[in-house]
């Protein structure tokens, strides 16, 4: 497959770290490298086109300051009710992102539902499902609503890893779900060695093996126009897992 990594001109910092991967994954990375595996975060000035475009010096400052000063509380309004809820029922397991995406209603079918983006817009029937899968974490950024926007996909060696967005949700202020979603935020921070992203995309080199569970969500805010994601790892869908209810390195 083509590399998911950004053009070097977009990279303003490179961070070495050691993710808490299981022994089996570490052994596989070591065998592929022929040496002790090296893991890097490529921190970039790449943002989604619908986000505010800041000068690079602002993105650099944000990447340093946000982990210490930013709130964990959800600060958005679009479909707030749906985003801060978990679908009822069991978790259905899928082999990979391709299998999950192939099981979902089409963009055309979902668009016909004319799902409101108002704050009180709750889950429609097609979103009242939970999914779980093994995947690879390719990139992530922090959005203005305090969600962490993660790009996952299938095996990096595949011809088409079928990228998909999953969201580490900002926290509801007073809700039993707050503790559960905080644990996911803590787990994400642990996976990336405490180096959570700022508003520009971080790219993980190599992509990191993870196990994900959460509720399905169709992002009506992006039903038209550009889809979220960097050009080198852009999902071709606005189906998401949102919120993630479990995120673990594997």
Question: Which pLDDT band, with edges at 50, 70 and 90, does 50 fall under?
Answer: confident
Q: Cis (ω within 30 of 0) for the bond into 239?
A: no
Distances in Å between the Cα of 96 and the Cα atoms of 6, 168, 194 are 24, 19, 26
pLDDT exceeds 90 at position 42: yes
Beta bridge partners of 216: 241
Q: What is the pTM of this model?
A: 0.94
More confident residue, 250 or 60: 250
More confident residue, 12 or 56: 12
**Pairing between β-strand 164-168 and β-strand 148-153 as defined by DSSP bridges:** antiparallel
pLDDT tens digit string along 63-90? 666 666 678 999 999 999 999 999 999 9
Q: What is the mean pLDDT of residues 100-119?
A: 98
Q: pLDDT value at position 6?
A: 97
Q: pLDDT value at position 173?
A: 84
Question: Which pLDDT band, with edges at 50, 70 and 90, does 146 fall under?
Answer: very high
pLDDT exceeds 80 at position 196: yes
Q: pLDDT value at position 83?
A: 97
Q: pLDDT value at position 1?
A: 66
Q: What is the mean pLDDT of residues 202-221?
A: 98
In percent, how much of the chain has pLDDT > 70?
94
pLDDT exceeds 90 at position 165: yes
* Mean pLDDT over the full length of the chain: 93
pLDDT exceeds 80 at position 245: yes
Q: pLDDT value at position 57?
A: 74
Q: pLDDT value at position 203?
A: 98
In percent, how much of the chain has pLDDT > 90?
83
Q: What is the mean pLDDT of residues 215-233?
A: 94
More confident residue, 87 or 54: 87
Q: pLDDT value at position 96?
A: 98
Q: What is the mean pLDDT of residues 154-179?
A: 94
Q: What is the mean pLDDT of residues 4-30?
A: 96
Q: pLDDT value at position 2?
A: 77
Answer whether 210's CB lies under 8 Å from 78's CB: no
Q: pLDDT value at position 49?
A: 82
Letter string b/e over residues 77-91, b meaning 16 or more CB atoms within 10 A of that residue's CB: ebbbebbbbbbeeeb
């Amino acid at each position: 497959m083509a590399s998911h990594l950004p053009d070097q001109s977009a990279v303003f910092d490179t961070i070495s770290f050691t993710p808490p991967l299981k022994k089996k994954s570490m052994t596989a990375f070591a065998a592929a490298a022929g040496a002790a595996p090296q893991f890097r975060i490529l921190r970039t000035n790449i943002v989604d086109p619908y986000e505010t475009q800041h000068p690079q010096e602002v993105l650099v400052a944000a990447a340093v300051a946000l982990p210490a000063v930013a709130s964990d509380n959800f600060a958005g309004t679009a479909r707030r009710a749906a985003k801060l809820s978990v679908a009822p029922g069991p978790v259905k397991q899928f082999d990979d992102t391709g299998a999950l995406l192939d099981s979902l209603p089409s963009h055309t079918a979902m668009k016909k539902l004319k799902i409101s983006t108002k704050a009180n817009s709750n889950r429609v029937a097609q979103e009242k499902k939970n999914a779980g899968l093994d995947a690879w974490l390719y990139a992530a950024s922090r959005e203005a609503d305090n969600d962490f926007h993660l790009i996952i996909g299938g095996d990096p060696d595949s011809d088409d890893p079928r990228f998909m967005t999953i969201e580490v949700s900002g926290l509801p202020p007073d809700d039993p779900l707050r503790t559960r979603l905080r644990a996911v935020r803590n787990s994400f921070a642990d996976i990336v060695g405490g180096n959570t992203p700022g508003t520009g995309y971080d790219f993980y080199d190599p992509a990191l093996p993870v196990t994900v569970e959460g509720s399905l969500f169709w992002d009506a805010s992006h039903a038209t126009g550009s889809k979220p994601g960097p050009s080198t790892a852009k999902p071709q869908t606005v189906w998401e897992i949102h919120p993630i209810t479990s995120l673990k390195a594997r």
